[in-house]
Structure 1
Amino acid sequence: MELRNVKTFIKVAEMNSFSKAGESLGYAQSTVTLQMKQLEEELGVPLFERKGKRISLSQKGHEFLTYANKLVKYEAEAIQSISHMNEPSGELHIGILESLSVSEYINIIKEYMETYPDVSLIVKIATTLELMKMLEKGLLDIIILLDQKVFNSNWEVPFEKEERILFFCSPKHPMSNEHVYLSDLAKEKFILTEKGCNYRQVFEEFLAAQRLTANCLLDIGSTNTIIDYVKNGLGISLLPEFNLKENLKNHTINEILVTDCNILLYTQVIFNKNRWMSPAMKVFLSTISNYFDTLNYA
Structure 2
Amino acid sequence: MEIRQIQSFVTITQTGSFSGAAQLLGYSQSAITVQIRLLEEELGVRLFDRMGKKIGLTSQGKRFLLCADEILKQVQMAGELKNTGEELKDPLHIGTLTSICFSKFPPILQYFREHHPRVPIRITTASPGELIDMMEHNQLDLVYLLDRSRYSDRWEKVMEVPEPVMFVASPRFHLAGQKEIYLEQLLKEPFLLTERNENYRRELDQFLESRGVTLTPFLEISSTEFIIRMVCENRGITYLPYFAVENNIEEKNLMVLNVPDFKLQMYRQIFYYKNKWKTPEMEEFIRLARELR
Range into which the TM-score falls when normalised by the shorter chain: 0.7 to 0.9
Distance in 2 separating the partners of 1:50 and 1:217: 50
Q: Which residue does the alignment assign to 2:187?
A: 186
Conserved in 1, the CA contact under 8 Å of 2:97 and 2:126? yes
Within 5 Å, which residues of 2 pair with 1:141-290? 141-178=141-178, 179-290=180-291
Distance in 2 separating the partners of 1:31 and 1:63: 24
**Alpha-carbon shift at residue 167 of structure 1 (Å):** 0.9
Conserved in 2, the CA contact under 8 Å of 1:188 and 1:235? yes
For normalisation by structure 2, the TM-score amounts to: 0.81
Conserved in 2, the CA contact under 8 Å of 1:155 and 1:273? yes
The gaps in structure 1 that reach 5 residues or longer are 293-298
Conserved in 2, the CA contact under 8 Å of 1:176 and 1:256? yes
For normalisation by structure 1, the TM-score amounts to: 0.80
Distance in 2 separating the partners of 1:11 and 1:57: 13
Q: Which amino acid aligns with 2:115?
A: T
Within 5 Å, which residues of 2 pair with 1:64-75? 67-75=67-75
Distance in 2 separating the partners of 1:275 and 1:68: 12
Q: Which residue does the alignment assign to 2:78?
A: 78
Conserved in 1, the CA contact under 8 Å of 2:159 and 2:269? yes
Distance in 1 separating the partners of 2:186 and 2:235: 15
Q: Which amino acid aligns with 1:240?
A: P
Conserved in 2, the CA contact under 8 Å of 1:144 and 1:267? yes
Residue identity (%): 32
Q: Which residue does the alignment assign to 1:92?
A: 92
Distance in 1 separating the partners of 2:212 and 2:57: 41
Q: Which residue does the alignment assign to 2:127?
A: 127
**Alpha-carbon shift at residue 67 of structure 1 (Å):** 4.9
Distance in 2 separating the partners of 1:64 and 1:169: 56
The farther-off stretch of 235-244 and 39-48 is: 39-48
**Alpha-carbon shift at residue 232 of structure 1 (Å):** 4.7
**Alpha-carbon shift at residue 70 of structure 1 (Å):** 3.4
Cα deviation digits, residues 51-79 of structure 1 (max 9, x gap) = 4xxx5656867886565443322223234
Partner SS state of residue 131, structure 1: helix
Q: Which residue does the alignment assign to 2:116?
A: 116
The farther-off stretch of 250-259 and 61-70 is: 61-70
Q: CA RMSD of the aligned region, Å?
A: 3.1
Q: Which amino acid aligns with 1:85?
A: N
Kindly indicate which of the two structures has a greater share of residues assigned to strand: 1
Distance in 2 separating the partners of 1:37 and 1:2: 12
Q: Which residue does the alignment assign to 1:5?
A: 5
**Alpha-carbon shift at residue 98 of structure 1 (Å):** 0.8
Q: Which residue does the alignment assign to 1:35?
A: 35
Cα deviation digits, residues 267-289 of structure 1 (max 9, x gap) = 12223344322222233333333
Partner SS state of residue 275, structure 1: coil
